[in-house]
């Protein structure tokens, strides 16, 4: 991603597109289904920020957008697919990854991005996550982690830190939570990074990076939920969340993921933690079949033809 | 359109039902399968895993049936013909995605080799107790097609038919085998590829600007696209409008749910698949399907030998239920006898469409083996009295 792009000024005086009275189109509009606006997300929610980063990453990636597909599960982040101006799939709860697996294997020229939330990907969908990482399936998983089930009213999830008050933990969470980046690395992901919605430049850069990286890639984005998470925990509004992220985040690229666990108010280690090259599923499949079957092996041609 | 010869194993074979079903998927053009091991169905994908690398396609063993049943739908939207295979407990897990296939109108095939239940039940022994689950198992109102082969030959033939129907109506199709049919070995004739008719996917000819993903054609079925072709379409399990966009209102829900049901009406009214044996003069008709129909055949022969005019109406397409045929028969026969390897499932449909105009006698069996012909014969003789 070009620095010029990342440095888009946020001052309407410097950038007329930011002036609400100006009818010029927003630069990310071509990447969105504008006929579906306004979106459903609350004021102060961070999901829109991640989508903005994703749109900018798509633009700077120079990928043919007809060959990029986005798959979401269920929840607030599950709605991202519906707003992206791409071939998009809003699947069932937790199943975005296995859907994406079928999509990618049947149509390998697609770049398949899974965009979903922490509850969807790591509770109901947790098994699919670790197996796709194990296989090094060539899909890119972006997890917007707001530390709660927001769509259903702010219940405890697998990433909710202890001591947090939630709709289903009115006396405080006592279950240990997952360290998502450590889980991703242990399961075999080729690329693992974590950012917050305060780190928009770094996030957009990571997203662009994974769009050009082979294998199972994982980006965790910490994102505020003022309506259901912060309010219950007296953590202020969306702006307070930005201040909090700014204050407690420490950029440590290459940090050991085992030391990146999250707590309610402690340090948030951000950065790119893993970037390694492992053969992906299709490469392993082709290698094995060629070694075993030689010329009898027929390269998969999965799509069916018209009449 | 005819079958792609690459997938067709033309010749005379000695195959069990599971393997014949696998050959049917290949002949039908399926080039993607996802599965999870479960007795007594695994042989279908074991053979697919063995065959597909030289045909050109993908088999992936997923982490569970939830994953398998949605991976195939990802593959379909990527452009593939795809299927999964399971039995009772796995079929229960797949219900979520049978509903997803129904509302997203994703053509795909679910093979269920039925075993005794509930729960883990009788893993290696037959039952026909998932018949209602096939129709009603996922939440909400929706319609599917279910086919019941009674021989390995039919496992081949009907699997091809099942894929064709899935493409024509854009519904999930259930292949409702049972353990006996899945594991019995018989002669299976696989024709030349140019003798196998294939229904192509209904890919749209409209441009991305004019195309609407869920705008129905005259037959109430919308045309389709695949990812990567520039249509920038949206698929959701939420109630959606013709564009595919979520729309949370009563009118959209009514239009969508009714259309999903109505598009299959041709199947219960005229195009239902069945086999009629000795119905012309029948006073008692045995209504059966799958392995039970083969026991019923012996029982009706025994009844005829004793002077009772018995016939067979063999259900091949169980869903939508062939209601018109039962209604027509009900007006001219004395009784229906309905043996099935469950405690009474399809018999309720027979009763419903008979509407009191003939006796309906259930011959239940809890599963684990097949009926003795004498048990069905006894019911026929009672019915004829």
Residue with tokens 């869920």, as numbered in its chain: B214
**A66 contact residues in B (CB cutoff 8 A):** 228-230, 232
* Band (A3; pLDDT cuts 50, 70, 90): very low
The answer as to whether B225 is a domain residue is: no
Nearest to residue B168, comparing CAs of B97, B236, B101, B224?
B224
Helix (H) or strand (E) holding B337: strand B335-339
CA distance B182 to chain A (A): 26
Per-residue pLDDT at A291 exceeds 80: yes
| B230-256 mean pLDDT | 97
> Would you say residue A9 has pLDDT above 90?
no
Q: CATH number, domain at A283?
A: 3.40.50.970
Residues B66, A95: C-beta atoms closer than 8 Å: yes
Task: Pick the last residue of a domain from B136, B168, B195.
Answer: B195
Q: Do B75 and A91 touch (CB under 8 A)?
A: no
Distance CA A36, CA A153 (A): 23
Condensed to tens digits (0 to 9), the pLDDT of residues B7-16 reads 999 999 999 9
Residue A142 · residue A70 · CB < 8 Å: no
The answer to the question of residue A16 being in a domain is: no
> What is the reported pLDDT for A15?
61
Instruction: Answer whether residue B335 is part of any domain.
Output: yes
pLDDT digits (tens, 9 = 90+) for B48-98: 999 999 999 999 999 999 999 999 999 999 999 999 999 999 999 999 999
pLDDT band, very low/low/confident/very high, at B22 (cuts 50, 70, 90): very high
Count of structural domains, chain A: 1
Query: Do B287 and B147 have their domain in common?
Result: no
Contact B70, B97 (CB under 8 A): yes
Asked if the Cβ–Cβ distance from B73 to A99 is below 8 Å, we say yes
| Spatial CA neighbour of B320 closest among B346, B341, B294 | B346
What confidence score (pLDDT) does residue A17 get?
57
Question: B80 and A304: CB-CB below 8 Å?
Answer: yes
Give residue A135's Cα distance to chain centre: 19
The closest CB to that of A298, out of B53, B72, B78, belongs to: B53
> Is A276 within the bounds of a domain?
yes
Task: Tell whether B174 is covered by a domain.
Answer: yes
pLDDT at A1 over 80: no
Is 50 exceeded by the pLDDT of residue A5? Answer: no
pLDDT for A20: 61
Tell whether B246 is covered by a domain. no
- Chain A, window 115-144: residues with a beta carbon less than 8 angstroms from a chain B beta carbon: 127-128, 131
Is the predicted pLDDT of residue A85 greater than 50, yes or no? yes
Does the structure show a pLDDT above 80 at A158?
A: yes
Q: Is residue B338 part of a domain?
A: yes
B73 touches A: beta carbon within 8 Å:
yes
Pick the range with the lowest mean pLDDT from A24-28, A174-178, A206-210: A24-28
- When CB atoms are compared, the residue of A91, A128, A302 closest to B237 is A91
Question: A98 and B74 in contact by Cβ < 8 A?
Answer: yes
Could you list the residue range(s) of the whole structural domain that residue B82 is in?
5-195
Identify whether A303 is part of a domain: no
pLDDT at B269: 73
In a domain, A302, yes or no: no
> Is A302 close to B79, i.e. CB distance below 8 A?
yes
In this structure, what token pair is assigned to residue A183?
């889980």
Q: What is the dihedral of CA B251, B252, B255, B258, to 10 degrees?
A: -100
Residue of A nearest to B34 (CA): A102
What pLDDT shows up at residue A25? Answer: 81
Total number of domains constituting chain B:
2
Q: Is residue A178 predicted with pLDDT exceeding 80?
A: yes
Q: DSSP alpha helices (H): ranges in A114-266? A: 118-119, 126-135, 180-187, 200-211, 238-248
- Cβ–Cβ gap B82/A81 under 8 Å: no
- Distance, in Å, from the CA atom of A56 to the CA atom of A31, rounded to the nearest integer, reads 9
**Cβ-nearest to B32 among A97, A127, A302:** A302
ipTM of the modeled complex: 0.97
Token pair of B157 as six digits: 């033939």
* Cα A39 to Cα A115: distance, rounded to the nearest angstrom: 16
Q: How confident is the model at residue A6 (pLDDT cuts 50, 70, 90)?
A: very low
| Residue B63 touches partner A, C-beta closer than 8 Å | yes
Whether B195 shows a pLDDT value over 50: the answer reads: yes
Q: State whether B134 and B24 are in the same domain.
A: yes
Please give the pLDDT value at position B118.
98
**B95 is a domain residue:** yes
* A303 phi, psi to nearest 5 deg: -70, 145
Contact B235 A85 (CB under 8 A): no
In a domain, B150, yes or no: yes
Are A92 and B237 inside 8 Å of each other by CB? yes
Residue A24 — pLDDT band, cuts 50, 70, 90?
A: confident
- Average of pLDDT values for A57-82? 98
Does A255 map to a domain? yes
DSSP state, residue A124: I
* Token output for B117: 């239940």
Matching residue, tokens 């009672």: B382
Domain membership of residue A94 (yes or no) is yes
Percent pLDDT > 90 in chain B is 98
CATH of the domain at B69: 3.40.50.970
Per-residue pLDDT, A118: 98
What pLDDT digit, counting tens, does each position of B284-337 carry?
999 999 999 999 999 999 999 999 999 999 999 999 999 999 999 999 999 999
- Taking a contact as any Cβ pair under 8 Å apart, which residues of chain B between 164 and 203 contact chain A? 200-201, 203
Between B111 and A7, residue with greater pLDDT = B111
Whether B111 contacts chain A with CB within 8 A:
no
In a domain, A19, yes or no: no
The answer to whether residues B176 and B33 belong to one domain is yes
**How far is B78 from B225, CA to CA, in rounded Å?**
9
Q: Say yes or no to pLDDT of B258 above 70.
A: yes
Chain A residues 45-74 within an 8 A CB cutoff of chain B: 65-67, 69, 71
B203 strand-pairing partners: B224
Asked if residues B143 and B320 have their Cβ atoms less than 8 Å apart, the reply is: yes
Q: Are B28 and B81 in contact (CB under 8 A)?
A: yes
Q: What is the 3-state secondary structure (H, E, C) of B308-320?
A: CCEEEEEECEEEC
Please give the mean pLDDT across all residues of chain B. 97
In this structure, are B27 and B124 located in the same domain?
A: yes
Cα of B33 to nearest chain A Cα, Å: 9
User: Picking from A226-240, B98-112, B265-279, which range would have the lowest pLDDT averaged per residue?
Assistant: B265-279
B60:A301 CB<8 A: no
In this structure, are B186 and B287 located in the same domain? no
**Mutation target among A295, A300, A304, A306 for the B interface, most CBs of B within 10 A:** A304
What pLDDT band is residue B129 in, cutting at 50, 70 and 90?
very high
| B70: contact with A, CB 8 A cutoff | yes
Q: Residue A9 falls within a domain, yes or no?
A: no
Q: What is the nearest CA distance from B27 to chain A, expressed in angstroms?
A: 12
Residue given tokens 């360290």 in the structure block: A179
**What pLDDT, on the 0 to 100 scale, is given for residue B376?**
98
| Alpha-carbon gap: A205 to the closest alpha carbon of chain B (Å) | 24
Q: Do B227 and A103 touch (CB under 8 A)?
A: yes
Put simply, the answer to whether B79 touches A304 (Cβ < 8 Å) is: yes
DSSP symbol at A122 = I
Q: Which of B195, B226, B257 is the last residue of a domain?
A: B195
Q: How far is CA B224 from CA B98, B170, B234, in A?
A: 18, 9, 12
Residue B260 lies in a domain: no
User: Which of B195, B221, B241 delimits the end of a domain?
Assistant: B195
> For residue A12, is pLDDT > 70?
no
Q: How far is CA B83 from the centre of its chain?
A: 12
Mean pLDDT value across chain A:
94
For residue A174, give its domain range: 28-296
Q: Kind of pairing, strands B32-35 and B234-236?
A: unpaired
CB contact under 8 A, A106 and B60: no
Question: Residue A234 burial (CB < 10 Å; 0-12/13-18/19+)?
Answer: exposed
B37 and B145, same domain (yes or no): yes
Of residues A33, A106, A307, nearest to B32 (C-beta): A106
Strand partners, B222: B216
């Amino acid at each position: 991603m070009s620095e010029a792009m990342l440095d888009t000024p946020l001052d309407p005086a410097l950038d007329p597109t930011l002036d609400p009275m100006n009818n010029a189109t927003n630069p990310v509009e071509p990447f969105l289904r504008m006929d579906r606006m306004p979106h459903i997300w609350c004021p102060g929610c961070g999901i829109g920020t991640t989508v903005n980063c994703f749109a900018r990453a798509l633009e700077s990636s120079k990928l043919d957008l007809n060959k990029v597909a986005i798959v979401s599960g269920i929840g607030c982040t599950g709605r991202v697919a519906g707003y992206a101006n791409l071939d998009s799939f809003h699947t069932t709860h937790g199943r975005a990854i296995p859907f994406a697996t079928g999509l990618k294997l049947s149509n390998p020229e697609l770049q398949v991005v899974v965009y979903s939330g922490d509850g969807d990907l790591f509770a109901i969908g947790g098994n699919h996550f670790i197996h796709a990482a194990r296989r090094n399936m060539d899909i890119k998983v972006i997890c917007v982690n707001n530390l709660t089930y927001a769509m259903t009213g702010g219940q405890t999830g697998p990433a909710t830190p202890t001591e947090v008050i939630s709709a289903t933990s009115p006396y405080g969470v006592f279950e240990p939570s997952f360290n998502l980046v450590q889980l991703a690395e242990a399961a075999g992901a080729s690329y693992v990074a974590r950012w917050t919605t305060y780190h928009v430049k770094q996030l957009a850069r990571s997203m662009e990076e994974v769009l050009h990286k082979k294998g199972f890639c994982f980006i965790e984005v910490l994102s505020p939920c003022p309506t259901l998470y912060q309010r219950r925990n007296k953590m202020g509004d969306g702006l307070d969340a930005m201040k909090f992220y700014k204050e407690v985040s420490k950029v440590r690229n290459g940090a050991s993921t085992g030391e990146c666990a999250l707590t309610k108010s402690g340090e948030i280690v951000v950065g790119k933690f893993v970037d390694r090259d492992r053969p992906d599923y299709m490469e392993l499949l082709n290698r094995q079949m060629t070694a075993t079957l030689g010329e009898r092996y027929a390269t998969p041609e999965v799509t069916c033809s018209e009449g | 359109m005819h079958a792609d010869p690459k997938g067709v194993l033309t010749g005379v074979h000695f195959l069990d039902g599971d393997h014949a079903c696998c050959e049917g998927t290949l002949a039908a053009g399926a080039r993607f399968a996802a599965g999870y091991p479960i007795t007594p169905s695994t042989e279908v994908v074991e053979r697919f895993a063995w065959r597909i690398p030289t045909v050109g396609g993908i088999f992936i063993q997923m982490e569970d049936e939830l994953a398998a049943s949605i991976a195939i739908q990802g593959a379909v939207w990527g452009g593939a013909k795809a299927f999964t295979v399971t039995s009772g407990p796995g079929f229960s897990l797949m219900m979520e995605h049978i509903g997803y296939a129904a509302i997203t109108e994703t053509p795909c095939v679910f093979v269920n080799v039925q075993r005794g239940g509930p729960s883990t039940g009788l893993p290696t022994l037959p039952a026909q107790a998932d018949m209602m689950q096939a129709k009603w198992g996922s939440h909400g109102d929706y319609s599917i097609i279910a086919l019941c082969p009674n021989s390995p030959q039919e496992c081949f033939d009907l699997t091809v038919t099942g894929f064709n129907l899935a493409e024509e109506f854009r519904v999930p199709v259930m292949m409702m085998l049972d353990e006996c049919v899945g594991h019995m070995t018989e002669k299976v004739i696989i024709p030349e590829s140019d003798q196998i008719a294939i229904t192509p996917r209904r890919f749209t000819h409209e441009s991305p600007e004019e195309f609407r993903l869920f705008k129905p054609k005259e037959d109430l079925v919308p045309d389709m696209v695949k990812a990567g072709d520039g249509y920038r379409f949206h698929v959701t399990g939420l109630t959606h409008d013709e564009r595919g966009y979520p729309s949370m209102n009563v009118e959209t829900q009514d239009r969508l749910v009714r259309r999903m049901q109505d598009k299959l009406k041709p199947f219960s009214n005229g195009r239902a698949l069945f086999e009629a044996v000795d119905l012309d003069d029948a006073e008692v008709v045995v209504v059966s399907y799958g392995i039970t129909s083969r026991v019923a055949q012996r029982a009706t022969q025994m009844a005829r030998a004793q002077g009772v005019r018995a016939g067979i109406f063999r259900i091949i397409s169980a869903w939508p239920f062939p209601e018109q045929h039962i209604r027509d028969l009900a007006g001219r026969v004395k009784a229906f006898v309905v043996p099935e390897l469950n405690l009474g499932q399809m018999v309720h449909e027979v009763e419903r469409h008979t509407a009191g105009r003939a006796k309906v006698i259930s011959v239940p069996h809890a599963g684990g083996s097949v009926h003795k012909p004498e048990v069905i014969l006894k019911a026929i003789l009672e019915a004829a009295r």
